[in-house]
A and B are shown apart, each in its own frame.
Chain A
Amino acid sequence: LPAGLSQWFPALEVLDVSGTGLAELGAELLALPRLHTLLAKNNRLGGPGSLPKGLGQAPLGRSLRVLNLSGNRFAEVPPALLGLRGLQSLSLGGNRLHGIPPDIQELRSLEFLYLGGNFITSIPPELANLPSLSYLVLCDNKIQSIPPQLAQLHSLRSLSLHNNLLTYLPREILNLVHLEELSLRGNPLVVRFVRDLTYNPPSLQELAGRTVKTRNVPYAPSDLPENLVRYLSLASNCPNPKCGGVYFDSCVRQIKFVDFCGKYRLPLMHYLCSPECSSPCSSASQSSTSQSESDSEDEASVAARRMQKVLLG
């Protein structure tokens, strides 16, 4: 790009340099204080120095809202762009990404994130810390599982997961109340009922932790070593409402059908504190084995009906 760019066109708002063979976007962009949309798809960007240093602090860093870097050669999300606190839309589709950095959570204003067509194998839970994210595209990657924390993306309206390596989904996905689109095709989702009980008995630390939490044993940070205080804060609640128990590391993984009126079956992963517990998310067509399942069916069936609408369109 010409060095005098910001002097000649100081009022520039939209710049499209797609398909120009650029191997780097240089410092000449940094002084463009009105530039809100930068389209640089189908270029040769991806090497070190593809994006200018100090991007987050420059005038451009404050003005940029839309950045399209799809169809380039990025093997990692360039750290330089993580400082773009005002960025609303980011596309890195069709690159060579193998992962997503946890620092993606720095993009506080992000609403639209397109990462389809890469080689991503896993999703960091930090992705869930993007409060405004409404459109998340992860299709055509190599993702094997979705972290349950993703259900904290309360603004999510559309989630694209097709053509990955998913065998199940976390049951928390039912909590995404604004979700209107969910694509799942081209995943090896488990179709038949699979009960996969892999249970490692809890450690003494785990048992002690559970007792402290469930009996509400009072403690102050001065009572315990710092690592144990942190450990106690990581307790997860058993989804069985009749149980009210908690677990830390030891849990039973169960793949259970959530049967949406026989039309669409989604395998959802349930984490339970012991094999005796069962999740409230039971299928209407399966015979209930315990009273607890039917008691909490209302809440679960509301969530299930909502998900049914999303999947069946």
Chain B
Amino acid sequence: EQQPVQTETWKARSLEELIRILHRIFAEDKVSVEEVQELMESYESNPEEWLQYAKFDQYRYTRNLVDNGNGKFNLMILCWGEGHGSSIHDHTDSHCFMKILQGNLKETLFEWPEKKGNGEMTKKSERVLRENRCAYINDSIGLHRVENISHTEPAVSLHLYSPPFDSCNTFDQRTGHKHKVKMTFYSQFGERTVCVSMRQHPP
């Protein structure tokens, strides 16, 4: 396959290198969405490099902080057991990159509900993201639900959010009503975060 002439094409050969390059990119004033998406996709998932962050919970998916990007971004690993899924949520005016490290995740896009919305939310599209693919979303694109629809395989994904945020809105698909929730980490830098209220968990 012919490589087109480009100004800058990153290739992350390891998770450590990916994080290093991300720090460099986000140190600049302007960051290109395409550049970050290509970089994330270029990293070929190697479980040995991220297994320490991949802590699963029996009951629901988990968010495990990997790097806090000097305050410019949050990089985290999400672990989805069989059948685990998120609610429909927004991204609090931030950029969201989601790369599949293992298994598959189904992403369903929704339109923002009408202000006085009282009907079923409108599905825009859905797709299944395969291993190593990287998806991107922000609030102007819409809302989404992410699910591991497999009944036999767990899934692991790598997420980058910039700027970092710790709360968002979840939406009821049948009515469009929204509800603000605080987001918490199941583990940080490979260490299980204890003393977190189970009631306040992410969407």
Contact = CB atoms under 8 A, between A and B. Distances in A.
A191 B175 contact: yes
A162 B174 CA distance: 13
Contacts of B82: 70, 91, 93, 114, 116, 137
A158 B59 contact: yes
Q: Which of A70, A93, A185 has the most CB of B within 10 A?
A: A185
A183 B203 CA distance: 12
Contacts of A93: 82-83, 151-152
Interface string B169-193: 0101111010101000000000000
Interface in A261-289: 262-265
Contact of A313 (B149, B150, B177, B201): B201
A157 interface: yes
Interface in A146-188: 157-158, 160, 162, 180-181, 183, 185
A293 interface: no
Interface in B148-166: 149-152
Contact of B85 (A70, A114, A158, A162): A162
B68 interface: no
A70 B198 CA distance: 29
A88 B193 CA distance: 26
A135 B82 CA distance: 12
Contacts of B3: none
Contacts of A313: 87, 170, 181, 201-203
A71 interface: yes
Contacts of B202: 313
Given A41-B152, A42-B152, A94-B152, A183 B85 contact: yes
B177 A160 contact: no
B174 A160 contact: no
B110 to A, nearest CB: 12
A265 to B, nearest CB: 7
A39 to B, nearest CB: 10
Contacts of A262: 177
A265 B177 CA distance: 11
Contacts of B83: 93, 114, 116-117, 137, 139-140, 160
Interface residues of A, number: 32
Interface in B76-130: 82-83, 85, 87
Decide if the interface of chain A is mainly helix, strand, loop or mixed: loop
Contacts of B181: 312-313
A74 interface: no
Q: Tell which of B59, B83, B181, B203 has the most Cβ of chain A within 10 Å.
A: B83
Contact of B177 (A70, A94, A183, A263): A263
Given A157-B59, A158-B59, A158-B60, A189 B85 contact: no
A60 to B, nearest CB: 23
Contacts of B85: 162, 183
Contacts of A135: 58-59
Contacts of A180: 59, 198-199
A247 interface: no
Interface of B: 58-60, 82-83, 85, 87, 149-152, 170, 172-175, 177, 179, 181, 198-199, 201-203
Given A116-B151, A313-B202, 8 more contacts: A71-B151, A93-B82, A93-B151, A140-B83, A181-B60, A183-B85, A313-B181, A313-B201
Interface of A: 41-42, 70-71, 91, 93-94, 112, 114, 116-117, 135, 137, 139-140, 157-158, 160, 162, 180-181, 183, 185, 189, 191, 262-265, 309, 312-313
